[in-house]
C-alpha cells in the first residue's frame, strides 16, 4: 500500500488554510478502475467516519432487482433529469447506454455550506467535472498493484466472462493513465493496509494536519 501526493494538473491546496476553522465542508472524491477495491474502501471509510455525507447518484435507468430508491440510487425520469441539467443542477453527469447518471449539486452545496464533509465515489470523467465546479476537492485515485493483479481479481469475482474482463482491463489502463490528475494515489495491495492508509489520509485533512 502506497500513499503519495501527486503534482499533475491538480489545483494547489492550501493546507495552512485547512488548519483554520473551515468555512465550508471538504469534498473527498474517490475514483478507481473496476476491481481495484474502491467500493470496499469507501464502505470502510464510511464506517470509520459515519458523519461523512455520502452522495448517492441519480439515474434514469430502471431499478434492478434488490435496488432501493434513495439507497442505491435516486431513480428519476428523463424529463426531470434534463430539467435539472438545463438548470445547471448537476455537479457532474454522464449518459451511459441511453440512461443518464448525475450527482446533485444541490446536495453537495447544502452539505458543504453546512460545513459537512462529503464523500463522492465517481469515475475519472465525473471527477474532472467535479473539479471544474469544486476546484478544492480532495481527489484520491485507488490503484491495483498491477494490471495482472487486477485481472486475477476480476476473474475471481466470477461475474464477468473473458471478453468483459478484457474490456475492463482496457478501460482500467485508460483510467490509470489519468492518475496524475489526482491529488493522491493509493495502491490497494493489502486491503487492511489500504483501509488504514485511506482513513489516515482523510483524517489528516479533517484535522488540518498536512498528509505526508
**Average pLDDT for the chain:** 89
Q: What is the CATH number of the domain that holds 90?
A: 3.30.63.10
Buried b (16+ CB within 10 A) or exposed e, 58-89: bbbeeeeeeeeeeeebeebeeeebeebeeeeb
My answer on whether 193 and 172 are in the same domain is yes
My answer on whether 136 and 180 are in the same domain is yes
Q: What is the CATH number of the domain that holds 9?
A: 3.40.50.300
Question: In terms of C-beta density within 10 A (0-12 exposed, 13-18 middle, 19 or more buried), how is residue 16 classed?
Answer: exposed
DSSP letter string, 186-209: EE-SSHHHHHHHHHHHHHHHHHTP
Q: What is the pLDDT of residues 104-129, one digit of tens each?
A: 999 999 999 999 999 999 999 999 99
Which run of H or of E encompasses 125? helix 124-133
- Model pTM score: 0.85
Q: What is the pLDDT of residues 56-80, one digit of tens each?
A: 999 999 999 999 999 999 999 999 9
My answer on whether 5 and 28 are in the same domain is yes
**What domain range includes position 195?**
1-52+117-212
- Closest to 28 (Cα-Cα) out of 9, 49, 8: 49
Place of cell 483554520: 20
Q: What is the mean pLDDT of residues 18-32?
A: 76
Q: What is the mean pLDDT of residues 117-146?
A: 96
How many domains does the chain divide into?
2
Cα–Cα distance for residue pair 159/155, rounded to 1 Å: 8
pLDDT of res. 23: 73
Amino acid at each position: 500500500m502506497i500513499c503519495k501526493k501527486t503534482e499533475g494538473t491538480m489545483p494547489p491546496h492550501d493546507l495552512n488554510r485547512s488548519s483554520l476553522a473551515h468555512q465550508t465542508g471538504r469534498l473527498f472524491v474517490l475514483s478507481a478502475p473496476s476491481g481495484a477495491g474502491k467500493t470496499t474502501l469507501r464502505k470502510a471509510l464510511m464506517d470509520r467516519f459515519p458523519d461523512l455525507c455520502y452522495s448517492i447518484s441519480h439515474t434514469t435507468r430502471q431499478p434492478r432487482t434488490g435496488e432501493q430508491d434513495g439507497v442505491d440510487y435516486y431513480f428519476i425520469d428523463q424529463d426531470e433529469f434534463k430539467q435539472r441539467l438545463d438548470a445547471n443542477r448537476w455537479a457532474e453527469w454522464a449518459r451511459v447506454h441511453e440512461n443518464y447518471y448525475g450527482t446533485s449539486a444541490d446536495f453537495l452545496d447544502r452539505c458543504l455550506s453546512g460545513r459537512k464533509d462529503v464523500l463522492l465515489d465517481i469515475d475519472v470523467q465525473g471527477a474532472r467535472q467535479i473539479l471544474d465546479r469544486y476546484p478544492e476537492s480532495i481527489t484520491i485515485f485507488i490503484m491495483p498493484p498491477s494490471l495482472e493483479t487486477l485481472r486475477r481479481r476480476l476473474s475471481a469475482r466470477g461475474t464477468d466472462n473473458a471478453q468483459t474482463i478484457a474490456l475492463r482491463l482496457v478501460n482500467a489502463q485508460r483510467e490509470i493513465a489519468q492518475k496524475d490528475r489526482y491529488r493522491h494515489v493509493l495502491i490497494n495491495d493489502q486491503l487492511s493496509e489500504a483501509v488504514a492508509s485511506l482513513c489516515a489520509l482523510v483524517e489528516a485533512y479533517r484535522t488540518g494536519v498536512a498528509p505526508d
